[in-house]
Amino acid sequence: MAIRTAAMALALGAAMMGTAGAQSDLIKRGDYLVNGILTCGNCHSPKGMPVAVAGKEFSGGLSWDEPPFKVTASNITPDKDTGIGAWNDAQIKTLMRTGIRPNGVHVAMIMPTGFYHIMTERDLNAVVAYLHTLKPVSNKVDDPVYKMPQLELVIPGGEQPYMEAMMSDKVKKGFYLVTVAHCMECHTPMEKGVRKWDTRLGAGGFEFPGPWGVSVSRNITSSKTKGIGAWTDEEIKRAITAGVSRDGSKLKPPMGYQYYATVTPEDLDAIVAYLRTVPARE
């Protein structure tokens, strides 16, 4: 009996260690996504120059007053009164996947939920697990004002969650990473509220005013004259991770190169492989 009890205790301990290890791996993956390729802090953290205000990370950030809405990026720390601390995991995932808040209202379109439909179950769980580890920060942002119905603009090919097995294909993995990084949110023009996926995917042209002046999103199609078709792989990677263009000039915010600097070499290779397939647009 004593031997059996000891064996059961060892098995239980091993199972608990395995569960703790899996949770730790999930949090590490969430850290990589949230503080890297998802660039969550680029909007949700209050900005000083040039980085987020220390101690206030993810407690609410940039504001927009546009024809469709007047909003401030939400507090996504676990603070129960002003953040998402009172939300359950399912509610966070629903917001990420559909744009619908717990009150049934669609979040402002500036939140790129249409690019998260593709997110794997593991990555979605990882983001939620990591958000639970953030320090709660009490910071009430202004309530959103919606001037028109908010739409869910989903990129073609990104309507359904990816399976992990799909990541073995470099181009598919690159599309996944470019999508969750919502690159095409800034680099694809809109017309009358409709994203020009079919004819202008990656063509650039959006203007972004800010403390940096006015930056214009670049053409990231495979065009050799207007896009990045003539760039080397290393030049593309340098632009993504260091904010340096082919000619050596510095790219301006809100390009999140300081976040993309954490992207692994393997993921960068996949991103470049996909960008090479984006049809040339002049």
Residue-by-residue pLDDT tens, the chain, 282 positions: 566 665 555 555 555 556 667 789 999 999 999 999 999 999 999 876 556 677 889 999 889 998 999 999 999 999 999 999 999 999 999 999 999 999 999 999 999 999 999 999 999 999 999 999 999 999 999 999 999 999 898 999 999 999 999 999 999 999 999 999 999 999 999 887 778 999 999 999 988 887 788 999 999 999 999 999 999 999 999 999 999 999 999 999 889 999 999 999 999 999 999 999 999 998
Distance in angstroms (rounded) separating the CA atoms of residues 13 and 9: 6
pTM assigned to the model: 0.89
How far is Cα 101 from Cα 282, in angstroms, rounded to an integer?
A: 39
Bridge partners (DSSP) of residue 145 are 70
DSSP letter string, 228-269: STTS-HHHHHHHHHH-B-TTSPBPPTTS-HHHHTTS-HHHHH
Sign for the pseudo-dihedral over CA of 159, 162, 163, 166: positive
In whole angstroms, what is the distance from residue 112 CA to residue 185 CA?
7
Closest CA to 256 of 238, 235, 242: 242
Amino acid at the residue 262? T
Helix (H, G, I), strand (E, B) or coil at 196: coil
Half-sphere exposure of 141 (CA within 13 A, CB side): 26
Is the distance from CB of 229 to CB of 280 less than 8 angstroms? yes
> Could you say which DSSP state residue 168 is in?
G
Would you tell me how many other CB atoms lie within 10 Å of the CB of residue 136? 16
